[in-house]
A = this chain, B = another copy of it.
């Protein structure tokens, strides 16, 4: 591997001069500059990417900030793996690197410093929540007019960049499907409350019940945290309430799979004893027994869309053509009917 020393020797200058020429720093006699560039070329000395990024003010990386949760295999959840897959697709096409940065979800994250220290040119925030500290951190990104996008978390501010899915609509469709099949005693196993995802599902559930003239009943609402274990845990409560439940709407496939496992262990026959509609349409949904009726969310497309839009913003900035338009996208979901919701 050619090093700076060899270039300096061939060009007859100091190593510092080589650096200054190649990094475009400071004044330099044109003849010296040419001699260094010539020597570098002759020796096939690549302009160091970091130095060159420094000159351009660019890292060539799209950052993805995601929560680090001990013992949780995050990448093995359909939600994160599909979002990352879509982001990866866009980043690959755009010739960027994808820099994954893990954060402790209990600590306020300084997103802005990622840009200031030039680790990323833009970033996508996964697993964001509605916590006040998170809101403040995201607002700072917007105030600084940095290219960023929050994924699948609603903030009630029209100037924030967000790509999300319409979970209220998706949840409404799920519950309406159960009502149309003649079920009226419909429970709801929701995920953790700090995500707008969970709020939106609750809103959709309520809307469908209300429209059908079914009274809400809080004792039929169960609380999980989107994990399979939490679904399995909820099984004993659901089993206890089985006499006053026709069906349960579950906020994601993982919890639904845990719930079904738990219920089966307690002796339930599915879907005969309880109809279930889940959410996500993960790979697993099609090979559980019974196969899951579930709401398909276009996570992959959401990831790709967010990354594509950010890379476009970066290209516009390069042309000094930066628009101040925030990214605002809400993608539609689709109900996939299989056997868990009955015949």
Contact = CB atoms under 8 A, between A and B. Distances in A.
A45 B27 CA distance: 23
A75 to B, nearest CB: 4
Interface stretch (A200-208, A242-250, A280-288): A280-288
A289 interface: yes
Contacts of A322: none
A273 B60 CA distance: 55
A1 B283 contact: no
A225 interface: no
B119 A60 contact: yes
Contact of A97 (B27, B101, B113): B101
Contacts of A99: 61, 97-100
Interface string A48-84: 1111111000011100000010000111101011101
Nearest to A72: B85
A19 B80 CA distance: 40
A117 B1 contact: no
Contacts of A101: 97-98
Contacts of A98: 99-102
A118 B19 CA distance: 15
Interface string A36-53: 000000000010111111
A150 B53 CA distance: 28
B73 A81 contact: yes
Given A1-B144, A75-B84, A117 B61 contact: no
A92 B76 contact: no
Contacts of A300: 73
B23 A16 contact: no
Contacts of A46: 113, 116-117
The 6 lowest CB-CB distance pairs between A and B, nearest first, are A49-B117, A289-B289, A75-B81, A92-B102, A50-B118, A98-B100
28 contacts: A16-B25, A19-B26, A20-B26, A23-B25, A46-B113, A46-B116, A48-B117, A49-B117, A49-B119, A68-B89, A73-B300, A74-B88, A75-B75, A75-B82, A75-B88, A76-B78, A81-B81, A91-B100, A97-B100, A97-B119, A98-B100, A98-B102, A99-B99, A100-B100, A257-B287, A260-B287, A284-B287, A289-B289
Interface of A: 1, 16-17, 19-20, 23, 25-27, 46, 48-54, 59-61, 68, 73-76, 78, 80-82, 84-85, 88-89, 91-92, 97-102, 112-113, 116-119, 144, 228, 257, 260-261, 283-284, 287-289, 300
